[in-house]
Structures are given as structure tokens and as C-alpha cells.
Amino acid sequence: QAALDYAAKFDKYEGSVILSAEEIAAASALVPEKLKADIQFAHDNVRRFAELQKSTMTDVETEIVPGLIAGQKAIPVRAAGCYVPGGRYSHIASAIMTVTTAKVAGCEHIVACSPPRPDVGINPAIIYAADLCGADKILAMGGVQGVAAMTFGLFDLPEADILVGPGNQFVAEAKRILFGRVGIDMIAGPTDSLILADATADPMVVAVDLVSQAEHGYNSPVWLVTDDEALANKVMDLVPVLIADLPELNRMNAEAAWRDYAEVIVCADREEMAACSDDYAPEHLTVCDTGFDCSLLTNYGSLFIGENSAVAFGDYCAGPNHTLPTEGAAKFSGGLSVHQFLKVQSTQKISDAGRAELAQHAANLAEAEGLIYHQKSSEVRK
């Protein structure tokens, strides 16, 4: 009831909480065929890349020493909750990225959760994408109430084992509070993007890409790192002109992000550019420098090599996941992948012939630690 009360207060929506098959079909019928084809294209690419990732995780077993067989198994979590933002912008691609990846991993039950628009409901394209990609249930609920519903198994849903997907600061905080009771992909902050560019880069392409990321939100940092001061000045001249042409909401976001968070940094050489980039550890890193040695770069959520590789392609349909570490978290983590839905669990099997040597070493170590029954548990197997 508390979740429903919050939904009425914040979502201003009192329709179905769990969408029926008929409601999903009706919403899907509203999606233009061209958009359906675009969603299908993106889904196919994300699925193919997720399948490639899964192929790198294999069950293995080996004889460590005679008589000791050890191994590992990759077992999918049972229930996944996928949060799909739908407030300020309708993140159709987030449904594709999260639900598809969980499906490929082999999760038994997948819930797609998205905030409904007041008195309208979830964007039909999000509903269509979530259903196409394999969601077992679609939950029309936003914010902390949606996160809680998936975590605690409200409305006859299974309790989630992991929560994934981006969201606003309230969603991020809810995931942080619940971490431990449930797994999470990451605590995501505002999206950020860094471009490395030299004199050969097209200033318009660089400027457009910076604005494309700044329009995400008022607090979305964008950075240009270059060894060419002329390029830096040209880009700084172009960006305000491009922002001025945006619709009001996008313009307000991009203006604030550019004014308060953007940086243009001129370095002495490519080595300094690489060091600067690694220090920022951006979510998105684009290299618009034909001679740049990308092996110098180690900290990024996803790397886009060359001017043809737009971050927007990665946001929507290139294949690699767009749910990526922000706020410098790329120094110690990567983006959402099949691997986060898989538990790598070890196995051990010891034969009569193998137990004696293990028992002696384990008993000696237990005695050194002062754990009496660890020692006895080992010695009884000599």
C-alpha cells in the first residue's frame, strides 16, 4: 500500500501496476513500425554482443593436485529487476540494454520497471522494447517505490536478486541503501563524456558530440582534451551556438552543464592527454585523433575509436552496453554486462587418495591460527 501511495503522489498514476498481456499488446500497437524496426535492430546487436560476452564465461574443472578436483560454474541469478528511466526522457534504449543482457545471461525471471507519465502510463515504445527483449513482467512504477517493489517482491513479483539500470538521484540512493540485501550493477551518477582530439579532428563533430552528452542533464560533465589550442577555441565558439538551437528543456540542461561542469583542457602532447583522460576516468571516451595510441588509455567505461564511432551509436544500438560507470568509477569497474547476472561459484571434490596431504597442511595452518576444530576437522580425515 505504501508503494501505491507513493506512486499516486509522485507518479500521479493510478492505472495497472503490473501490465497485462492485453495492455502490453495495446501499447505495442501504438508504436510506429519504423520505430519497432529500430528497436529490433538495437536488440539484435545488444543480444549478439551479450552472447559473445557469455561465451567467455565457461564452466571449468581441473585437478589442482592428485586427488583434488576444483572447478567453477557460472550460474545466473534467479530474478533481475531492470529500472528503465521514463521521467524527463523516455529511455527506450535502457530497456533494451538491461532486459536483453539479463535474458542472455539466463535469468529465470526479469522485471522491467519504468515510471508512468501522469494519467497516461509508460511510454508505449518502452513497453514494446521491454516485452520484445524478454521481460516477464512490466511494472508501471517509478522512483524509490519501483525499486522497493522489485526488491521486496511486491505485487506478486519474485524478490529481485539484482537491480540494474540507470535512474535519477533518488533511484541511485535507493539502490545504494538496498545494496547487500540485493545486488546492484552500480551507483550511477550523472552521465559524463570526454573527447580526446588533435588538429585533424573536425571541430563541428567534436562540438556536436559534446552537446549531445551535455543535453542529458544540467549536471552532466563534458570534457575536451586536446593538444591543439586552435581546435579548443573553435569548439568553444561552436558549442554555445549549437546549444542555442535546442528545444527549451534540452537547451536548459545543456546550457547549465556547459556553464557549470564542462572543461576544455590543452595538453602538451598525447602522453599528457592520455594521463589526463585516465585521471578523469570518463564514462564515455572518444578518440578523435588518427595517430593516438589507445593502449595508453586504461580508465573508461566504453571507448569510441575514431570520429565515426559516435557515443550516440553506443547509447542506442551498437551492441556494447550503455549502462556504464560514472564519476570516475571506471578506475575500478566496467559497464553492465552478462557477467553481472552470473555468479561464478567454485566446486571442490577430494578423493580418498587426495585427502591425506590436504589434511596435514590444513591441520598445521589451523593450529597456527588457533582454530581448534578446524584442526580437528582436518585431522579426522587423515
Give dist(CA 191, CA 220) in Å, integer: 5
| Catalytic-residue membership of 284 | yes
Residues contacting residue 111 through CB under 8 Å, at least 6 positions apart: 79, 80, 81, 82, 135, 136, 137, 138, 139, 150, 157, 158, 160
Rounded-to-5 percentages of helix, strand, coil across the chain: 45, 20, 35
Contact present, 314 and 284 (Cβ < 8 Å): yes
Give dist(CA 50, CA 97) in Å, integer: 9
The catalytic position among 43, 283, 307, 322 is 283
Give dist(CA 230, CA 218) in Å, integer: 27
Burial of 120 (0-12, 13-18, 19+ CB in 10 A): exposed
Residues contacting residue 43 through CB under 8 Å, at least 6 positions apart: 96, 100, 129, 132, 133
Strands (DSSP E) contained in the chain are: 60-65, 68-76, 79-83, 109-114, 137-140, 162-164, 183-184, 193-197, 222-226, 263-266, 284-288, 302-305, 342-350
Radius of gyration of the chain (CA): 25
| Catalytic-residue membership of 43 | no
Contact present, 285 and 300 (Cβ < 8 Å): yes
The catalytic position among 91, 284, 307, 322 is 284
Question: Does the CA dihedral 45-110-341-73 come out positive or negative?
Answer: negative
Q: What is the DSSP letter of 61?
A: E
Reading the block at residue 353, the C-alpha cell is 587418495
Q: What is the DSSP letter of 118?
A: T
Residues contacting residue 142 through CB under 8 Å, at least 6 positions apart: 7, 10, 11, 86, 87, 113, 114, 115, 116
- Residues assigned a catalytic role: 283-284
